[in-house]
Structure 1
């Protein structure tokens, strides 16, 4: 399943840097800021059942791995990202795997992997019982009987569910970091998608506030003392 929206959360600062700062200095500053955010104490939790949580602070080596990941993503550094991937990293359910294939996909705009990764690093971290981690946090949670292949996370607090597919439509209810079900077929270029909430309300939400539950996720763990991500995959 393709990602409904790619949210670039670590924009490069080259366009904003002054003439005195070389591009390499601007990139370094941007990366340092990302690392500081990863290593800082967790911010106040947003409201909503699937708002990003960070459970990985006490997983040995995870903070350093996530900081390196954030740095590689913020600077779009292919070599740095490849260095963080397992040699046999799983990339799809059709047999696509390995760092050579990952390198190809990072360069292929149809996969949009850099923006997918930029979103992932902002969506919290869940730890596994065997010491690994999962990004985003919500993917490791129990969704009960919900059909995750046809369901979407509303990303944000008090996102309006509207009666019509336009920004001026009457608000039915605000939705905060919750799972909703897609109504009808997905239209890639639509500005709004029709959805149904867990309590039966049907309406429209802006596409850029939605992300499939089964969208891209990253699984990482330590092998022989070295952290790497073993899975970067979408679908189910």
Structure 2
């Protein structure tokens, strides 16, 4: 299984104070569907409707934690203190805040309007790659396994190295090659277009000085690019 990833949404967290017979409730959207993320280091990302269907259908155990911290447990789906619902907007959560230091602190912060972001942690089960209308690499999360949902202080996109590895696997390249490749080249490969191999000028000049019979071997960079294109066509 892939590493745990975390993503955030910039939507205010809702707080409903306790009333007679019911405790305080914290609500928010951990994810929103079909919304492009910020630049995640060479690509953007969106969550497809239905990405959480398997987790919700299989009743996967999910917890709510403040800032994804185990020391600030707020609720769990197993205990029924955390409820998750996928609607047209995205993945909504409602958590009954516990009468603990963590629960009371989070409730007071939310009531004052200090908690304005939500987040979710997940393992990717299925994703796909394409490009945006502007030609930027786009990763779409199709199926994920939820780990937790969380109200957070800042909507930070943490480690996105797993996303880069996914892009590299899709293109049959190393992560280092993806990071070094021009955006135009990545775009062409995602679109299934053939691209002309680029050979450093110094090596071109060196080849021109070789035997003019033209019987030299194919340049290794050309072989690499031809192999990558062949693999793409086989997908």
**For this structure pair, what is the TM-score category when the shorter chain's length is used for normalisation?**
under 0.3
TM-score normalized by the length of structure 2: 0.25
TM-score normalized by the length of structure 1: 0.25
Q: Which has the larger radius of gyration?
A: 2
Larger relative strand fraction:
2
